[in-house]
Copies of this chain bind each other. A is one copy, B any other.
Amino acid sequence: MALKLYDLDVSGNCYKVRLFCALLNVPLDLISVDFMSGEHKRSPLIDLNAFGQLPILEDGGLVLRDSQAMLVYIARKLGNESWLPTDAVSQALVTQWLMVAENEIARGPNDARLHDKFGYKLDITAAREKAKRILTIMDRHLETRSWLALERPTIADIACMPYIALGWEGGVPLDPYPAVKAWVERIKNLPGFVSMPGL
């Protein structure tokens, strides 16, 4: 039975899961959710995810929320050690960047895009400031590295890339960050890569 993803095409969090499954050549049943009408805030979806957010992943009786946790699940179940190693050092280094996806990138370029593209009421100046701060750190980090956490692509790269690459939709273009731009291109060149609207 294939994994089932409650999905929204323009969501970078949903896209992370679609992308990772494509890279692993793992089939994924997509169920489009009517986000605009708030389908994810009502039964039956709110009973699957009390947080009222997308994506939601179902695998048999298991229900997961949070795209970073989904990447961990899929890597551990269907990927191999290369995408999420089990040794302490590697797993911690990958986790650090999963947390950046959940925190600094969500509050920076993701929030800026939510404001500009979807009309969310939030402090756009603060979001763009946070975006610049994390992009500056990532650009310096990637000046001497090809991938965020290890010497090869991991779920850290999959988790962080989408909202970085979509930042231009929130007034945060990547031109000032050449090392970040090159890293996005490296991900786009991975075998099996799929895109999403705006990327």
Contact = CB atoms under 8 A, between A and B. Distances in A.
Contact of A69 (B66, B76, B96): B96
Interface in A75-111: 76-77, 86-89, 91-93, 95-96, 98-100, 102-104, 106-107
A8 to B, nearest CB: 19
Contacts of A26: none
Interface in A39-64: 50-51, 62, 64
B95 A72 contact: yes
Interface of A: 50-51, 62, 64-66, 68-70, 72-73, 76-77, 86-89, 91-93, 95-96, 98-100, 102-104, 106-107, 123, 137, 140-141
Contacts of A65: 96
Find the residue from A50, A70, A91 having the highest chain B CB count within 10 A: A91
A76 B86 contact: yes
A20 to B, nearest CB: 13
B50 A137 contact: yes
Given A73-B88, A86-B76, A88-B76, A66 B137 contact: no
Nearest to A64: B92
| 9 nearest A-B residue pairs (beta carbon) | A73-B92, A77-B88, A76-B88, A69-B95, A69-B96, A102-B102, A72-B95, A66-B99, A69-B92
